[in-house]
Amino acid sequence: MATFVDTKKLAALLQVSEETAQAVVGGDVSALIEEAPEAVAEQANAEMAAFLQKHKTTLYHADFLTSQALADESIDLIVTSPPYNVGIEYSTHDDAHEYDAYLSFSEKWLRQAYRVSRPDGRLCMNIPLDKNKGGQQSVCADVTSIAKKIGWQYHATIVWNEGNISRRTAWGSWMSASAPFVIAPVEVIVVLYKERWKKTRKPNATNDITRQEFMAWTNGMWVFNGESKKRIGHPAPFPRELPRRCIKLFSFVGDTVLDPFAGSGTTLIEAHENNRAGIGFEIAVEYCELAKQRLEAL
Ligand SMILES: C[S@@+](CC[C@H](N)C(=O)[O-])C[C@H]1O[C@@H](n2cnc3c(N)ncnc32)[C@H](O)[C@@H]1O
């Protein structure tokens, strides 16, 4: 039985010309082998071109897990909130994976983050303490163990108590010992480093943290409100206070700060406002646009 093949569609799928797709249908794959690497290279080049490049801020519309846009050991500090896998409706990323798949996603980005970090580079990872929906899981403990397996070294865990967390409705078995739910209304910021905690100061690098900020923020219990999704226009933004504290506490003026999951660009905004170079990656073009608007409004 003859099968109809739409060569236009096939060409788009393989990222080659229609003639090559036609040859493939006819059983000749030699042109495909010649042409495909070029198409792949083009795609890679498009990814390397920044979506936004202004002053010392760069935003890539790209998948951080596979991007080669950053050189090895080029980043001083990473401040990020990766997807939590709690079913948030992002425009591109699927946030409802099986837990094992989520852990393997975590391993991939943590490995890439490790590659691009300087030997004295640091990582501030804002993740949930645990997960209660769809089965209880020790997210913070599991993701931290993966990071340590890759080579990241542990420094501390900051507990972030969000004042404005929404009212609870899930009690499990109400007023019964049969199966009550315990929920901590907090998130964490796990602080890790690559090889050595003591940071080498580059010539002319200065500190900009005040005495009061230093005293308050080195107490690992942080209390400030979360950010409104509606106000920002993103399903899971963190408040500016979070990257502001991490940047001033853990990097010098002039350092390079990366957010591999830039979302609405909050880390890039704070990097810019605090005189650091900022680099972000975001897979969804809508959020790249949003980050661009927020950065341009500064
Ligand atoms: C929790 S949100 C980050 C929000 C950000 N902190 C803010 O304040 O707006 C995670 C972001 O990661 C993006 N994302 C998911 N997978 C990605 C990937 N592989 N590479 C780059 N970005 C990704 C999602 O589209 C989402 O915007």
- CB of 234 closer than 6 angstroms to any ligand 1 atom: yes
Beta-bridge partners for 57: 54, 278
pLDDT tens per residue across span 137-163? 999 999 999 999 999 999 999 999 987
Q: How many CB atoms sit inside 10 A of residue 244's CB?
A: 20
Which pairs from 91-94 meet CB under 8 Å and 24+ separation? 91/284, 91/286, 91/287, 92/283, 92/284, 93/283, 93/284
Second CATH level (architecture) for the domain 71-253: 3-Layer(aba) Sandwich (3.40)
Task: Please say whether the beta carbons of 84 and 128 come within 8 A.
Answer: yes
- CB of 83 closer than 6 angstroms to any ligand 1 atom: yes
Distance 260 CA to ligand 1 centre (A): 7
Residue 285: strand, helix, or coil: helix
pLDDT for the residue numbered 200:
85
Greater confidence (115 vs 204) lies with 115
Atom 1 (ligand 1) nearest CA: 83
Work out the pLDDT band at 90, boundaries 50, 70, 90: confident
The DSSP result for 92-160, as a single string, is SS-----HHHHHHHHHHHHHHHHHHEEEEEEEEEEEES-B-TTS-B-HHHHHHHHHHHHT-EEEEEEEE
pLDDT for the residue numbered 13:
64
Domain ranges of the chain: 71-253
Task: Please say whether the beta carbons of 250 and 122 come within 8 A.
Answer: yes
- CB of 263 closer than 6 angstroms to any ligand 1 atom: yes
Pocket test for ligand 1, best of 105, 107, 282 (most atoms within 8 A of CB): 282
Work out the pLDDT band at 1, boundaries 50, 70, 90: very low
| Alpha-carbon span 16 to 37, nearest angstrom | 10
What global pTM score does this model have? Answer: 0.86
- CB of 43 closer than 6 angstroms to any ligand 1 atom: no
Pocket test for ligand 1, best of 47, 78, 85, 93 (most atoms within 8 A of CB): 93
Work out the pLDDT band at 277, boundaries 50, 70, 90: very high
pLDDT tens per residue across span 172-195? 999 999 999 998 989 999 999 999
Of 83, 52, 39, residue with least CA distance to 65: 83
